[in-house]
Structure 1
């Protein structure tokens, strides 16, 4: 099964089957203007969401984007980055993989997809600091209870994420809940690359 999934992923993401890694070993390095962040994708638990992020990296769609939003403090909060609906960068939205299905959680270092409605996520993501169970799916809750889709975890550079969330925010940028959360000086994502 893993070999079949690896072959399928290698076909989808234009990498040779010889160099394809097992789904549990795929890492992506985000080289930013603040330093390097390395993430481990959970292709085995969240294949659609992790595969989508890997495609953005392989196709260099995140190169030159930024982390533009920060909420909270260095111990609890999140930073958000990605394509910001740039029509030249975004791919079609993906199916939603709730945490109730994947078993993943919004815990320290988790990467999750930004979205409006379930199934609307494309090229924006956020990294969690601390534990945020309110972002997990809760089938018993009223309204939109699908939560957000975790697909990876930071394995190197969490100190960079903490520095980004603690960076100065603009008092005027942002709309609605994002007002006051937009970084005064966005942190550039120089490259996003799959590691060998």
Structure 2
């Protein structure tokens, strides 16, 4: 069984001081594990599914209704339409909209593409201010998926962060379900997951093109080496569409 991701293994961009000028970093990505015995795998899967179902039911009961705000993200590869869930993720959505309304995302880029060998249906692209102190706004409180009821499904948009409560102006978009990036109650270490606050409703073909962009073999540090897009894809503008 291959564990593709874990919340601790994929810290999408370690929060750096505003003055930091180095490329964003990440903790090591989990390597392939040896196959478990059939009996233990089935039992573990059943237990995990039960726990996940209980967590999902709890969050669905607590989650507020949708209140969507659409944002048009124009890139050098085409346009994506985002639907931000202000009702379920008010803090994170308000933060992103501040970057949009103040035009702090105009001229930044998608600079990272994470793919998985043999799994063309999975991946993510990361973009934003890249911790640029001239564009950064203060960090925001973390809204875990256990609170919002949202999850890292296909086309989810979520905040990159280091420690919980450090997210600013870097974000990522997922291809395929990457539910291991959701909060993991009862786990060990950093189990807060990443803060989903919306989804791509138009333009996933654009996302896929960016995901397939050539990456540099030398740029990036740690686990992010080999994931940095050789020619970052410019974000030309980000505007409310409603």
Q: By the TM > 0.5 criterion, same fold?
A: yes
Matches within 5 A, 1:81-100: 81-100=127-146
Which segments of structure 1 move beyond 2 Å, counting only runs of 4 or more? Answer: none
Structure 2 CA distance for aligned equivalents of residues 128 and 50 of structure 1: 17
Q: How do residues 7-156 of structure 1 correspond to structure 2 at under 5 angstroms?
A: 24-72=67-115, 74-156=120-202
Question: Secondary structure of 1:140's partner?
Answer: coil
Q: Deviations over 1:87-112 (max 9, x none)?
A: 11010000000001100000000000
Aligned to 1:18: none
Aligned length: 174
Distance in 2 (alpha carbons) for counterparts of 1:25 and 1:180? 35
Q: Which has the larger radius of gyration?
A: 2
TM, length-normalised to structure 1: 0.87
**Using the alignment, how far apart are the partners of 2:150 and 2:208 within structure 1?**
21
Does the CA-based 8 Å contact 1:75-1:162 persist in structure 2? no
TM-score of the superposed pair, with normalisation by structure 2: 0.70
Structure 1 unmatched ranges of 5 or more = 1-22
Distance 2:90 2:222 in 1: 32
Gaps of 5+ in 2: 1-65
How far off is 1:177 after superposition? Answer: 1.3
Partner in structure 2 of residue 177 of structure 1 = 223
Whole-angstrom distance in 1 between the partners of 2:223 and 2:140: 24
